[in-house]
């Protein structure tokens, strides 16, 4: 029950770290509280609305009543399963914009500029461009993570991209390449019809070798002696014991559970820890602070033609899709159905995209309930860089108690302005000629929602999390009092302890967070092994030559 390294959490970053450390000949013990990811609800991409709503796979967190959303408590799913949130997410693959990582470096995450992280994005992926071309110098060809594109057979996928072009926006054939801005195909972590989670990509191959072991247990705290992490206290089958790490403990337990674990271990804001009777080992006021997320609205349009996925939205249809997937690995079940995307700028003077679109050829809610109008389609849209910040704090010193989560969503006037812009720009896209054969009427928000007050009321009532929490163990320079880890992911003030997951992001990246979370695991592994970082690659991203003067 000991190893060179203990990794807490078999999620997006943790699995990548385990794979790289084991490959380098180190012994690794991965500790995961959740169970197996073998079920069809996880492995079938088209079933993505199920695992997120299943207590067996999800920690079941909810926010505190959000003061700017009328006191609503929003769901905050996090994967409690092998593969972590990569086993319950929407499988959308977005690296983030080059400028996001340059901002990280400027804010104190030295060595994490885009030129530094691009080689790690390339190392982790095997990119299948589906014959669409794209610039291979930006993409990886032999990494563990397969990245594919849906077949885009439904004419609505092309209509969405055409409508973007007709509205005056750019097209892009690869938003993960040089040019994020524009409309084009969306990428997914799906391979041969299966969800390609980090469990499938990294953990299973690592477990086949002699160096990596998986332990199912609940981690109560990091054990620290004389300022050094020496292991973790675990609970298994009602018994509490300590597992020792010869070299280091790596916490990769999510933007919610990583700060919670640090605080339970005596690392965090001293006054807050004292309130709960926890001895302070390192007073780090930034632990649990800087919590960020993306919010989104889905805008739904009724379809004139019966060509949407609604035709499968009944017991017989779902059975048919499931049976076809089980037998052939093909059909609607083999895709997450997010097959077209868009990234645009909200205004002139915005240098790079700050609004994202996911397009879906059905009008359906996240909990899997279809719109009452039957056939329809929707675009999920929301701003990428909200100025609002929240916090994860302890509810009690009991390790089993869920933490208190308050995102403080929509706390700034800027947030409201951004959402009004998102809704109006989306309406304009759906009003283009490309949608004329398909669009009947707007289901949501509905034609009666027009004024700023009406739009704000709709947002307050209907906005949902995109499930992209991050930032709660922020990376920065050692002298920065708000930083929790240094640029090598080492916890400041404690030896032998690192954090590597989305909690270390200084600021949220553009788009979905799974890809940058895996990249953090890949890069952290080299820091842990004491290797020189991969050589920088100075690929320059496309920035609109008109960004100062034009929105598109």
Q: What is the pLDDT of residue 53?
A: 85
For residue 453, what pLDDT is reported?
98
Is there a binding annotation on residue 92?
A: yes
Is 81 annotated to bind a ligand? Reply is: yes
Summarize pLDDT for 128-177 with one digit per residue, the tens.
986 665 667 899 999 999 999 999 999 999 999 999 999 999 999 999 99
What is the band of 360 on the pLDDT scale with cuts at 50, 70, 90? very high
Residue 384's pLDDT is what? 98
Rounded to an integer, the average pLDDT of 326-344 is 96
pLDDT in tens, 299-328: 999 999 999 999 999 999 999 999 999 999
Tell me the per-residue pLDDT of 476-534, one tens digit each, with 9 for 90 and over.
999 999 999 999 999 999 999 999 999 999 999 999 999 999 999 999 999 999 999 99
pLDDT for the residue 134: 61
Which residue, 335, 265, 252, is CA-closest to 28?
252
Whether residue 89 is annotated as binding a ligand: the answer is yes
What's the pTM?
Answer: 0.98
332 has pLDDT over 80:
yes
**CB contact at 8 A, 154 and 306:** no
Look at residue 400 and tell me if it is in a domain.
yes
Enclosing domain of residue 394: 65-74+136-193+292-465
Joined tokens for residue 175: 């938003």
Residue 543: its pLDDT value, please? 98
Distance CA(543)–CA(552), nearest Å, equals 12
Q: CA 53 to CA 361: how far, in whole Å?
A: 21
Domains in the chain: how many in total?
Answer: 1
Strands 28-32 and 212-216: parallel
pLDDT at position 191: 98
27 is a domain residue: no
Q: Is 337 exposed, middle or buried (0-12, 13-18, 19+ CB in 10 A)?
A: buried
Examine residue 38 and state whether it is found in any structural domain, yes or no. no
Tell me which residues are annotated as active site: 468
pLDDT digits (tens, 9 = 90+) for 73-91: 999 999 999 999 999 999 9
CATH number of the domain that residue 318 is part of = 3.30.560.10
Whether residue 378 lies inside any domain: the answer is: yes
What percent of the chain stands above pLDDT 90?
A: 94
Task: Characterize 374-389 residue by residue with b for buried, 16 or more Cβ atoms within 10 angstroms of its Cβ, and e for exposed.
Answer: ebbbbbbbbbbbbebb
pLDDT beyond 90 at 52: no
Residue 354 lies in a domain: yes
| Whether the predicted pLDDT of 368 surpasses 80 | no
Distances (CA, A) of 260 to 267, 395, 489, 491, 503: 9, 10, 17, 14, 11
360: in domain: yes
227, pLDDT greater than 70 = yes
Q: 367 falls in which pLDDT band (50, 70, 90)?
A: confident
Q: Is 91 annotated as a binding residue?
A: yes
Per-residue pLDDT at 1: 77
Distance CA 171, CA 164 (A): 8
Tell me how far apart the alpha carbons of residues 198 and 228 are, in angstroms, rounded to a whole number: 29
Confidence of residue 417 (pLDDT cuts 50, 70, 90): very high
For residue 219, say whether it is annotated as part of any ligand binding site: yes
Query: What mean pLDDT value characterizes the chain?
Result: 96
Classify residue 173: in a domain, yes or no. yes
Reported as a pLDDT band with limits 50, 70 and 90, residue 370 is: confident
Is the residue at 8 inside a domain?
A: no
Q: Which of 263, 244, 243, 245 is nearest to 253 (CA)?
A: 263
Secondary structure of 411-444 in the HEC alphabet?
CCHHHHHHHHHHHHHHHHHHCCHHHCCCEEEEEE
> What is the pLDDT at residue 39?
87
pLDDT over 70 for what percent of the chain?
99
């Amino acid at each position: 029950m000991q190893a060179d390294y203990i990794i807490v959490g078999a999620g997006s970053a943790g699995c990548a770290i385990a794979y790289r450390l084991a490959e380098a000949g180190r012994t690794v013990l991965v500790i995961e509280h959740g169970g197996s990811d073998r079920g069809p609800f996880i492995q079938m991409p088209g079933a993505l609305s199920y695992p997120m709503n299943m207590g067996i796979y999800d920690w079941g967190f909810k926010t505190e009543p959000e003061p700017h959303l009328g006191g609503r408590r929003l769901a905050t799913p996090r994967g409690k399963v092998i593969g972590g949130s990569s086993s319950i997410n929407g499988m959308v693959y977005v690296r983030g914009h080059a400028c996001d990582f340059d901002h990280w470096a400027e804010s104190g995450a030295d060595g994490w500029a885009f030129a530094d992280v691009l080689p790690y994005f390339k190392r982790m992926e095997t990119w299948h461009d589906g014959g669409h071309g794209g610039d291979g110098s930006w993409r990886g060809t032999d990494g563990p993570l397969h990245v594919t594109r849906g077949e885009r057979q439904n004419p609505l996928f092309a209509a969405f991209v055409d409508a973007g072009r007709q509205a005056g926006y750019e097209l892009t054939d690869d938003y993960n390449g040089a040019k994020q801005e524009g409309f084009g195909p969306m990428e997914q972590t799906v391979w041969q019809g299966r969800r390609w989670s980090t469990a499938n990509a990294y953990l299973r191959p690592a477990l086949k070798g002699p160096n990596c072991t998986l332990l199912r247990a609940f981690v109560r705290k990091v054990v620290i002696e004389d300022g050094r992490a020496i292991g973790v206290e675990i609970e298994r089958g009602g018994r509490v014991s300590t597992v020792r790490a010869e070299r280091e403990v790596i916490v990769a337990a999510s933007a919610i559970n990583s700060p919670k674990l640090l605080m339970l271990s005596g690392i965090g804001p001293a006054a807050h820890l004292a309130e709960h009777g926890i001895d302070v080992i390192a007073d780090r006021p930034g632990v649990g602070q800087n919590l960020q997320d993306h919010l989104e609205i889905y805008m739904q349009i009724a379809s004139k033609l019966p060509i949407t996925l609604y035709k499968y939205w009944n017991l017989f249809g779902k059975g048919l899709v499931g049976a076809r997937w089980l037998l052939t690995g093909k059909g609607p079940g083999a895709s997450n159905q997010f097959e077209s995307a868009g990234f645009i700028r909200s205004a002139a003077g915005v240098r790079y995209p700050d609004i994202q679109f996911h397009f879906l050829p059905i009008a359906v809610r996240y909990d899997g309930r279809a719109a009452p109008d039957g056939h329809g389609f929707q675009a999920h849209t929301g701003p990428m860089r909200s100025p609002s910040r929240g916090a994860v704090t302890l509810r009690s010193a009991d390790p089993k108690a869920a933490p208190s989560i308050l995102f403080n969503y929509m706390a700034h006037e800027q947030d409201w302005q951004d959402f009004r812009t998102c809704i109006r720009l989306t309406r304009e896209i759906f009003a283009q000629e490309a949608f004329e054969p398909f669009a009947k009427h707007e289901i949501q928000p509905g034609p009666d929602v027009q004024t700023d007050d009406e739009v704000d009321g709709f947002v307050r009532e209907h906005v949902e999390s995109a499930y992209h929490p991050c930032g709660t163990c922020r990376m920065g320079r050692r002298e920065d009092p708000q930083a929790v880890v240094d640029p090598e992911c080492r916890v400041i003030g404690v030896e032998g302890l690192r954090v590597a997951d989305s909690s270390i992001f200084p600021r949220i990246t553009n788009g979905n967070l799974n890809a940058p979370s895996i990249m953090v695991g890949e890069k952290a592994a080299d820091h842990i092994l004491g290797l020189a970082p991969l050589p920088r690659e100075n690929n320059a991203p496309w920035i609109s030559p008109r960004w100062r003067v034009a929105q598109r």
